[in-house]
Amino acid sequence: MSYENKILQMKKMLGKKTTAQQKVQQPAFQKPAKPSYTEQWEKAGLTVVENDFGIVFKRQVQYPFSFQHGHYQLQSFFDALKKWQGVEFDHPYALDINEPVLFFDTETTGLKGVGTHIFLLGFLEVAEECFLLTQYILADPAHEAAFLFESKLWQKSATVITYNGKSFDWPQLETRWTLHQKTLPKLRSQRQIDLLHSSKRLWKNDMERLKLKSVEEEKLGFSRIGDIPGHLAPIIYLDAVKSGIPDALMKVLLHNEWDLLSLITLYSHSTHLLFEEDHEESAKTFTNIGKWYGDLKESTQSVRVLEKVTMKFDALEAGHAHYYLALQHKKSKRYSEAIDAFVASLHFVEPRTKLHVLEQLAILYEHQMKDYEQALSYTQEGIRLIQNNEQWRAEQKQKWEISWDKRLHRLGNKK
């Protein structure tokens, strides 16, 4: 290689090195100025906390364990914890006696999208001699990094208990945190218990509305007096930032406070129900509990709950309990008990479930009991149900009829 070519190669290499050294420097984080209304918000009872990223407003309230919220004192939470210790079955809502727990709720400026800010982070946790409520309020969007950092969720490790938090509050928090990922420590993942999920499990077909306010009134014995509608919270916050007047904002903090207190009592109430200790609940609720245990593959616990329903309530109320009990007996290969339970449910369940019951009875009599005549009888009843039901779609009925006709012909050949 000629001398000239070597020089050219060296120049190219030096040029690449120079380019690599000339990376654009990211601007350092600029701490925002305090809002002009800082003093006004302090006078309203909020504390100013300053950190490396700006300021955040903070409010704290202590509640004695004996504090009454609806039907329950807050110390009922400890009674609920004791129930979970040493149980012989698994449940996703079980807590260890020493497990750190954080009741968590947010208020936001909207329901979705990157432009939606969390403006209130509410926490309720067990302190030495009380429950401690801590609320962090976003000073303004420029101080969001300070707001998120001060929550300490980047260093806390706890089981987070929410109402719809798994689907809304926590994903929203992750979105806001991601926007500050170059500034803030990484957000920790936490175990979560979402009490909206348990409410759906417990009161399916028994409550028309499952908003927290409805659950409070119907199940927890708490009625909100002077509460602001939740949908007004974003408007109130934005107005407080614009005007600097925090009066209405303090009502939003109270709304959030009640949400958090209700999380404690709802966890307690849900635990009592899972241990069947509230006798005022309906057959539907206890049937739902038995089904839930069945879905968790806790067959022994499921059977125990469902059998209690069938003994305590009349046939009309206990129809679905018999049905789910039959499914558990079949899984356990207790075929005679399964048949008895399916028959007991037959006239008290809705048509689609009834069709499944008839199918199960036909299967059990054909394959386990070898009673082809009885299997044929239930098959014919199933076909009549399909043909006579005018609410089912024609295409669906046609598919079912093909399947049931195959069973009919097979059984006819076996007789």
Tell me which residue has tokens 């999380």.
263
Q: How far apart are CA 174 and CA 176, in angstroms?
A: 6
The conformation of residue 364, written as its DSSP 8-state character, comes to: I
pLDDT confidence tier of residue 414, bands split at 50, 70 and 90:
confident
Please check the confidence at residue 229 and state whether its pLDDT lies above 70: yes
Q: What pLDDT score does 258 carry?
A: 98
Q: What pLDDT score does 113 carry?
A: 63
292-326 pLDDT, tens per residue?
999 999 999 999 999 999 999 999 999 999 999 99
Closest to 327 in 3D by CA, of 364, 276, 352 = 364
Contact 371, 339 (CB under 8 A): no
Residue 414: alpha-carbon gap to chain centroid: 50
Q: What pLDDT score does 62 carry?
A: 97
Residue 220 in tokens = 């927890």
Q: What pLDDT score does 29 carry?
A: 72
Decide which of 1.20.1090.10, 1.20.950.20, 3.40.50.10680, 3.30.420.10 is the CATH code for 38-274.
3.30.420.10
pLDDT confidence tier of residue 221, bands split at 50, 70 and 90:
very high
What are phi and psi for residue 42, nearest 5 degrees?
Answer: -65, -40
Residue 386 in tokens = 């399909």
- The strand pairing partners of 126, in sequence order, are 131
Element (H, E) at 224: none
Closest to 131 in 3D by CA, of 203, 58, 199, 73 = 73
**What is the arrangement of strands in the sheet containing 159-162, beginning at the earlier edge strand?**
47-51, 54-63, 131-138, 118-126, 101-108, 159-162, 192-194
User: Topology of domain 283-414, per CATH?
Assistant: 1.25.40
Domain boundaries, the chain: 38-274, 283-414
Q: Which residue has the higher pLDDT, 28 or 235?
A: 235
Please check the confidence at residue 160 and state whether its pLDDT lies above 90: yes
Please check the confidence at residue 192 and state whether its pLDDT lies above 80: yes
The residue length of the chain stands at 415
283-414 has the same fold as 38-274 = no
